[in-house]
């Protein structure tokens, strides 16, 4: 909506404003009536700047200006709450809402407070699914909770990515740090498939890989926190992996070097994720609070719970795939 302001008239020319326009020239608007002021109609400020809201852009700029003076804090794990909430979240929101059009289901199953372990499937060649889950909980959960992700060592060796991973709340897959985070009441996100899941071929999409030896269950049992199964539909299609250039993977010390229908053939354009339709569902909590203190040492119990959670996620994936109209809708 256009803004209307009143400017005083010029004494030399009572019929005109004495204000200067943005170009440095005199305002040529005529007076209206005998009020002694001229009404000037200013164009409305834009509500959106590209995919971002104008307010989000202003908030990001204000935060960046403040950070230039060193006015911010990080916790003992390197987590920068302001960076995550005021800069990274506004950047992630258009991806969630406009590009992937994520439909969030079962968000009420994530507890509003206290420690909990979010266990999700992993796919997509690049771990975009972990980032979307993290910012989705922060943006859509009523308590606006942060998810502290356990990330592979590779994320903390890469230039630019490493400090960003730390500051956004990620932690290396270290059992002691993970246990402390859960004991301190944090949400912890884990992806037991690891590289086997995120780097699997497109022909194996939505087929869960092995969940390792159940280390995440041992962690939940030790900390006595609920486990929330999370199924993510849509991430498999953003970078359909149809091949692997192993010589380049060894050269760059990567677990794989993906080949997709667009990458590396189109160069940087091939790195743009395809706009698949996503569904993220948070299942009902699996409680561990009533288990004995030494339950984490019970190999059969750990195996049973690991297999149960894997089956819950797999069935949820199949169900949500059936409810999705197509890859893009």
pLDDT tens figures, 60-78: 777 777 666 666 788 888 8
Question: Stretch 185-208: mean pLDDT, rounded?
Answer: 94
259 occurs within a structural domain: no
pLDDT digits (tens, 9 = 90+) for 219-231: 999 999 999 999 9
pLDDT digits (tens, 9 = 90+) for 12-57: 455 555 554 444 455 555 554 445 566 555 555 566 666 667 777 7
21 shares its domain with 128: no
20 shares its domain with 151: no
147 shares its domain with 229: yes
Helix (H) or strand (E) holding 166: helix 161-167
136 shares its domain with 8: no
Mean confidence (pLDDT) of the chain: 86
143 shares its domain with 290: yes
Query: How far is 329 from 97, CA to CA, in rounded Å?
Result: 13
12 shares its domain with 159: no
- Among 11, 29, 44, give the residue marking a domain's end: 44
pLDDT digits (tens, 9 = 90+) for 109-141: 999 999 999 999 999 999 999 999 999 999 999
Structure tokens at 5: 């302001």
193 shares its domain with 287: yes
Quote the domain boundaries for residue 160.
Answer: 103-238+273-323
266 occurs within a structural domain: no
33 occurs within a structural domain: yes
54 occurs within a structural domain: no
Taking 50 as the threshold, does the pLDDT of residue 102 lie above it? yes
Query: How far is 50 from 36, CA to CA, in rounded Å?
Result: 40
Whether the bond between 264 and the residue before it is cis, its omega within 30 degrees of 0, is yes
Matching residue, tokens 């943006």: 139
118 occurs within a structural domain: yes
Taking 90 as the threshold, does the pLDDT of residue 284 lie above it? yes
9 shares its domain with 132: no
127 shares its domain with 30: no
| More confident position, 21 or 264 | 264
163 shares its domain with 278: yes
Query: How far is 187 from 277, CA to CA, in rounded Å?
Result: 26
Taking 80 as the threshold, does the pLDDT of residue 207 lie above it? yes
Phi, psi of 105 (to 5 degrees): -125, 140
DSSP 16: B
State the total domains in the chain: 2
Residues 88, 135: contact at Cβ < 8 Å? Answer: yes
158 occurs within a structural domain: yes
Q: How many C-beta atoms surround the C-beta of residue 88 within 10 A?
A: 21
126 shares its domain with 3: no
Q: Say what the pLDDT of residue 61 is.
A: 75
291 occurs within a structural domain: yes
249 occurs within a structural domain: no
Nearest to 249 by CA among 258, 240, 241: 258
Angle at 174 between CA 119 and CA 76, to 5 degrees: 105
Q: Say what the pLDDT of residue 22 is.
A: 43
Q: Among 46-50, 134-138, 255-259, 315-319, where is mean pLDDT lowest?
A: 46-50
Nearest to 124 by CA among 135, 116, 132: 132
Residues 179, 223: contact at Cβ < 8 Å? Answer: yes
Helix (H) or strand (E) holding 280: strand 279-282
| More confident position, 11 or 107 | 107
């Amino acid at each position: 909506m256009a803004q209307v302001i009143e400017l005083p008239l010029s004494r030399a020319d009572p019929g005109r404003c004495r204000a200067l326009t943005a170009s440095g020239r005199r305002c040529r608007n005529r007076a209206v009536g005998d009020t002694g002021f001229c009404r000037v109609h200013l164009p409305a400020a834009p509500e959106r700047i590209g995919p971002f809201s104008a307010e989000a852009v202003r908030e990001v700029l204000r935060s960046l200006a403040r950070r230039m003076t060193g006015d911010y804090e990080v916790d003992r794990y390197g987590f920068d709450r302001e960076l995550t909430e005021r800069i990274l979240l506004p950047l992630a929101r258009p991806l969630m809402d406009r590009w992937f059009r994520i439909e969030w289901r079962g968000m009420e199953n994530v507890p509003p407070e206290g420690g909990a372990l979010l266990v999700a499937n992993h796919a997509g060649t690049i771990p975009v699914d972990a980032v979307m889950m993290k910012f989705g909980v922060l943006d859509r959960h009523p308590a606006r909770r942060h998810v502290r992700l356990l990330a592979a060592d590779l994320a903390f060796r890469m230039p630019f990515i490493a400090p960003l991973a730390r500051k956004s709340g990620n932690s290396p897959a270290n059992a002691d740090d993970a246990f402390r985070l859960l004991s301190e009441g944090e949400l912890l996100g884990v992806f037991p498939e690891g590289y086997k899941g995120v780097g699997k071929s497109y022909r194996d999409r939505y087929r869960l890989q092995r969940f390792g030896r159940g280390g995440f269950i041992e962690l939940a049992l030790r900390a006595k926190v609920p486990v929330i199964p999370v199924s993510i539909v849509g991430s498999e299609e953003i970078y359909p992996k149809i091949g692997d250039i192993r010589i380049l993977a060894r050269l760059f010390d990567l677990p794989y070097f993906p080949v997709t229908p667009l990458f590396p053939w189109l160069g940087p354009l091939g790195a743009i994720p395809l706009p698949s339709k996503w569904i993220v569902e948070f299942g009902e909590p699996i409680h561990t609070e009533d288990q004995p203190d030494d339950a984490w040492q019970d190999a059969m119990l750990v195996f049973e719970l690991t297999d149960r959670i894997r089956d819950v996620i797999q069935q949820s994936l199949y169900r949500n795939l059936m409810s999705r109209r197509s890859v893009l809708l």
